Chain A
Amino acid sequence: METVTEPRSNLQKLLQAGVFVVTSEVGPPKSGDMAIIKKKSGLLKNVTDGANITDNQTAIVRMSSIAAAVQCVQDGFEPIIQMTCRDRNRIAIQSDLLGAYALGVRNVLCLTGDHMRWGNHPQARKVYDLDSTNLIAMVRGMDAGKFQNGEEIKPSPKFFVGGVENPFAPPYEFRPYRLKKKAEAGAQFIQTQMIFNVERFKEFMKKVVDLGIHEQLYILAGVGPLKSPGMARYMRDSVAGMEVSPEFVDRMEKTPKEKWKDEGMNVCVDIIHQMREIPGVAGVHIMSIEWEEAVPTIVERAGLLPRPKASEIQSPVVAVAA
């Protein structure tokens, strides 16, 4: 894995120690109700190693990602804030990141961001001043003590910086090289799109391992439960950049209605088991899409409990040797 440096966050510490990490997602509410964040973080705190706090995902207005992340920090849960380029230019992004760092947030996931055309404010003006690769480079530059314009930051904010990659969108041959670009920009971990086509993912990972990218960053495979056969068909047909293998759709269709959710979680568990076999995969990222109650069951059935505590891991080198 990447050269062992002082861990920026608990998540990085676990990854450096070689733990198969589990991250999940917390979607902030469409209101100012912090109780929802408290409930979700309480639910996920002991079963996952961290959670993405989404930044107005699908361009629908929600509570600020940083505000929700600060609540998670106070609850003793590791947040990974998402930072998108859709709504902020480079000045606002850097300012927000400095603020997040000051409030104790240590992980940031850099995204380009969903376009507002399909969100709830299609009239809004887009920003897209940077793209995700440049955003990663900028945050890493801030880590090294330089603002995007080259001015010095003292002391510099030290984030554990992540990006995303989708192996299931064309041009498929280019996807590993795009990941390589992100690695060159300085990404330290990668979360992938939700995997429902294991064969395609294996091909992608083979190329990634050939290029040696898995040694530069940690790859967390994105997985998620299915709720119903309708959801599986919808994701297969209508969600851009998603592929669902016929086997999973069949499996859901053959299941009686009262067992849909149970079977959907089993699909996710099976995919997690397959991910553990693939070389180069350092963990899983469970995207439960507003169904956080499923996560503890999935993690338990996948045999990933109990989660190790970052505070109990003393030195990455010792843990690897043990």
Chain B
Amino acid sequence: MKWFELGPIAWARDFLNTHPKAEKFLDVIGLPAEAVVKKTLFGCQSCGQCLLHENGMTCPMRCPKNSRNGPCGGVRANGHCEVYPERWCVWYRAYYRSQTMPLLPQSWRQDMYRVHPPVNWELINTSSLLNELTGRAHGVMPKQPEKKPAAKEPAKK
């Protein structure tokens, strides 16, 4: 089970998915706060589907090739980037940093070894925390807000 399927989080997800105004409110507050904090600390590129914790708190979107699945073949012998020789390869750092992540969510060390899906560009410049909470970052489509929750839906076709 993924962490976002746990009870209280699942409840929060359902709440947000059925209360678009609450989601909007969180988005207004959350996005700038998240952007400022993560931009300052990790050079966040606001992809809206955060992989920081899965890559040893190193943002893979800073890779000039936007690789989400590990270092390209051009890493220099000193661990620097092929494209910008003065910079570190983000994946070189991500690999070694991920080995120092806390053991408790075991997956945070293991996530380096799984295949990550391509970036969903629909989520660009949206709040990653909110996308995690609502499950959109994992491909869960938000429920369409129902105007009359109790009313029967008219039969389609």
Is A241 a contact of B115 with CB atoms below 8 Å? no
Taking a contact as CB atoms under 8 Å apart, the answer to whether B69 and A174 are in contact is: no
Within 8 A of A (CB), among B64-91: 64-77, 79, 82-85, 89, 91
A52 within 8 Å of B (CB atoms)? no
Which residue of A126, A138, A240 contacts B74 across the interface (Cβ within 8 Å)? Answer: A240
Mark each residue of chain A from 26 to 47: 1 if its CB lies under 8 Å from any CB of chain B, else 0.
Answer: 0000000000000000000000
Residues of chain A in range 174-222 having any CB-CB distance to chain B below 8 Å? 174, 177-178, 180-181, 184-185, 193
Residue of A nearest to B84 (CB): A117
| Complex-state Cα separation, A240 to B66, whole angstroms | 18
Determine the chain A residues whose CB is within 8 A of the CB of B83 once the complex forms. Answer: 115, 117-118
Say whether, besides A133-B69, A134-B117, A181-B113, A240 and B76 are in contact (CB < 8 Å).
Answer: yes
Summarize B's interface: helix, strand, loop or mixed: loop
Task: Choose, from A8-16, A161-169, A257-265, the stretch at the interface.
Answer: A161-169
Which of B65, B71, B114, B117 meets A169, CB within 8 Å?
B71
How near does chain A come to B87, taking the closest CB pair, in angstroms? 12
B4 touches A (CB below 8 Å) = no
CB < 8 Å: which of A131, A171, A184 contacts B95?
A171
Chain A-chain B contacts (Cβ-Cβ < 8 Å), number: 107
Residues on the A chain within 8 Å of B117, using CB: 134
Partner of A193, one of B73, B96, B118: B73
- Complexed CA–CA distance, A66 and B117 (Å): 27
Size range of the interface on A? 35 or more
A171 pairs with B92, CB closer than 8 A? yes
Most chain B CB atoms below 10 A, which of A171, A173, A180, A185: A171
Judge whether A132 and B69 touch: CB under 8 Å: yes
A114 to B71, CA, bound (A): 13
B69 touching A171 by the CB < 8 A rule? no
Residue of B nearest to A181 (CB): B115
Query: Nearest residue in A to B75 (C-beta to C-beta)?
Result: A169
> Is B119 in the interface zone, CB < 8 Å from A?
yes
Partner of A112, one of B65, B113, B115: B65
Q: Which residues of B come within 8 Å of A, CB atoms? A: 64-77, 79, 82-85, 89, 91-92, 95-96, 112-119, 121
- Report 21 cross-chain contacts, Cβ distance below 8 Å, ordered by A residue: A86-B65, A114-B74, A115-B64, A117-B83, A126-B64, A128-B66, A130-B118, A132-B72, A134-B115, A134-B117, A164-B73, A166-B74, A169-B76, A169-B77, A171-B75, A177-B113, A181-B70, A184-B115, A240-B76, A241-B75, A241-B82
